[in-house]
Every structure is written in C-alpha cells, then in structure tokens.
Amino acid sequence: MLERLWNGWRSAYVQGLEEPTVQSGEGSVFTQILASGLDDGQTHIVHRGASCFVILNAFPYSTGHVLVLPYREVAELEALEPDEAAELWATVTDAVVAIKQAYAPEGINVGINLGKPAGGSISEHLHVHVVPRWTGDSNFMTAIANTRTLPETLTDTAARLHAAWPVMP
C-alpha cells in the first residue's frame, strides 16, 4: 500500500482542524459527499456546474489532482445524457486551465478508468482524473518508502484551484 506524507499536516493539527467525514450510506462516496450537507470547503469541492462538479482527490498522485464527475451516479460514459457529457468534457478543460494557472505544471494527465479491472476504485460513479505532472515528480520516496510527499493540505489546494477557476463570460 502506498503511503502519503503530508508536509502541510502540521498547520491543520495546530489549528485543531479535522478533515470532514462522510457517513456510510447509499451510493458512491461521491454521492454521499453530495448528500452530506457539508459545505464545499469541508468536502474540497472546487467547482459546481449545472450537471457536473469537481472535487479534489482525497488520495492524490500529486498536489492539484482533481476529479471531474457528474452529480448523477453513472458508471459508463455512454450512460451520460448529452448535456452531461458536454459539460463533463468542458469542465475537464476548465480543470486543466485552472491547474495550469495555479501550479504551472510541465504536463497534465487526463484519464478515466471504466470498471474495476481498468483500475476504477469507485467504478460505480464515473469520474475523470486531471493530474498535474512535473519532470522527476516520482522520486525515491515512492520507490523505496512506498510514500508520496505532498507539499500542501487539501484545503490549501482547493483554495488555490477555486481562485484559478476560469470565469465564464
């Protein structure tokens, strides 16, 4: 199992903040977050559109890793309504723009895993990964200690991406 070493954890500890928890219930973890009544700051939702939203990955590959998904819980691309599909891909583009603005990465991975065999850990709720990448961003910590080093908290990442989100005219 890959561990994560959060360098920003101390500030949350010192300030007495806790990550939000979602009670087990019906639907995917994303559906549960949406139904939780928690505000977007607590749940790290960066953007909300008409039929899709963007949330930080709670277990990111790198700082700025977001998930773009429809509110409606569907497992397959072909299950999306035409307006959901159009908004999903437009929102992926906006996520790329926001990540470039906030983090200036050298590259970005955009990907989707359909079904558990494809690597979908929450395969019942379609989501698109948008991951900023830098040359050399995998280092000895991942290879030797099975740990990722992440330089800021999810709360700080959400604030940076929210501030960088493109504003539609």
Is 44 one of the catalytic residues?
A: no
Task: Give 147's strand partners.
Answer: 3
Cα 56 to the center of its chain, rounded Å: 3
Alpha helices in 75-168 (DSSP H): 82-103, 140-145, 154-164
Exposure class string for 88-116: b at 16+ Cβ within 10 A, else e: beebbebbbebbeebbebeeeeeebbeee
Catalytic residue among 125, 127, 129, 162: 127
**Angle between helical axes of 82-103 and 154-164 (0-180°, round to 10):** 110
- Residues catalogued as catalytic: 127
